[in-house]
Amino acid sequence: MINNIELEIIEIIKKNPEISSNEIFKSISKSISYATVKRMISKLMDDNLVAKKGQGRATKYLISPTYEVLFPIDMVKYFEKEIDERKIKEIFNFQLINETLNGCSIFTAIELEQLNLFQKKFKKNISQLSKIEYQKELERLAIDLSWKSSQIEGNTYSLLETERLLKEKETASGKTKEEAVMLLNHKEAIDFIIKNPDYITPLSVPKIEDIHRLLIKGLDVDKNIRKRRVGISGTNYKPLDNEIQISEALSSMCKLVNSKENIFEKALLLLLLISYIQPFADGNKRTARIVSNAVLMNYSYCPISFRTVDSIEYKKAMLVFYEQNNISSFKEIFIEQFKFAVNTYF
């Protein structure tokens, strides 16, 4: 988290681009040592919030190009304002994919260290499992992911009802046929990526469309890239409404994700950007969750079920990305859910 002095340093740099550390030190209102100021600047650089220009005594500091993407947002304060009161980026930001996210690391060194430790734990755990035990754990995760991914979209099946449906094909009383189909489609899509772990790599638009097609089968949802405008509940953000531009945005996203070396970055970017682009008439976030997991599994990383995520908090974090292009809240969800998956399933 950012403390008050670090916030003050950021504000000083905002008002005085290309400022020296000594000038920052002299501008701070509280009495702290120069060494402490230098240490805090270094931390802000590690967090990708501040950048530097020049070397030695000529070093100057400025706000990082990725500041708006990464700076922590107070979610409670943000949602105190109603939908029409919030100042947002209403239209699709092409620069976000083509420039801003292209040359930056979206995880801090500390965050990557944590994630890599849990990935090592996952590798150690599965090395001690028999093939049958590993398949059982994957099956358990697949059921949980099918349930939670559907619940986020309004499905009312309980986890136990979902397990019975997916294992015994027994529908729950008082539920719609569409709810059962949504869950069964999830399981089919997950089974597909388990059986074909390298299918999604390298990422391409047709492969994303294939996953989407599995997820919306029998649900009266149009296949392929949408040709009409869509609105998103709870926000005034307006996704692209031109089929050619949507295809171009998806292609740019694929190019960006394929260029990233870090697997966690690939997975998180897919969760956010497929949802942001909204390429399909429906099923966008479902597709994002399955494609993201497909990438994790292709590189033998632990898949994520999202089982313990609060659906409202998930949606709020996504709304902040739509409206501010800020990933901080959703990144927290991703990290916590990855840790949960490693500790729970394997």
Give residue-wise pLDDT tens across range 295-338: 999 999 999 999 999 999 999 999 999 999 999 999 999 999 99
pLDDT for position 86: 97
HSE of 56, CA atoms in CB hemisphere, 13 A: 1
pLDDT for position 90: 97
Contact 304, 311 (CB under 8 A): no
- When the candidates are 3.40.50.800, 1.10.10.10, 1.20.1250.20, 3.30.1360.170, the CATH number that belongs to 4-64 is 1.10.10.10
Q: Which of 41, 154, 48, 163 is closest to 106 using CA atoms?
A: 48
Of the given ranges (20-34, 143-157, 323-337), which has the lowest mean pLDDT? 20-34
pLDDT for position 146: 98
Residue 65: pLDDT band by 50, 70, 90 thresholds?
Answer: confident
Report the length, in residues, of the chain: 346
pTM of the model: 0.91
Domain boundaries, the chain: 4-64, 94-345
223-259 pLDDT tens trace: 989 999 999 999 999 999 999 999 999 999 999 999 9
Please check the confidence at residue 88 and state whether its pLDDT lies above 90: yes
For residue 8, the surrounding DSSP H or E stretch is helix 4-15
Question: Where do we find the tokens 């005594």?
Answer: 57
Pairwise pLDDT comparison (47 vs 87), residue with the higher score: 87
Residue 103: pLDDT band by 50, 70, 90 thresholds?
Answer: confident
Contact 162, 170 (CB under 8 A): no
Cα–Cα distance measured from residue 221 to residue 318, given in angstroms and rounded to the nearest whole number: 22
Residue 47: pLDDT band by 50, 70, 90 thresholds?
Answer: confident
Cα–Cα distance measured from residue 197 to residue 205, given in angstroms and rounded to the nearest whole number: 17
Cα–Cα distance measured from residue 120 to residue 176, given in angstroms and rounded to the nearest whole number: 42
Contact 328, 72 (CB under 8 A): yes
What's the chain's average pLDDT? 95
CATH numeric code, 94-345: 1.10.3290.10
Percent of the chain with pLDDT over 90: 92
Straight-line distance from the first to the last Cα atom of the chain, in angstroms, rounded to the nearest whole number: 30
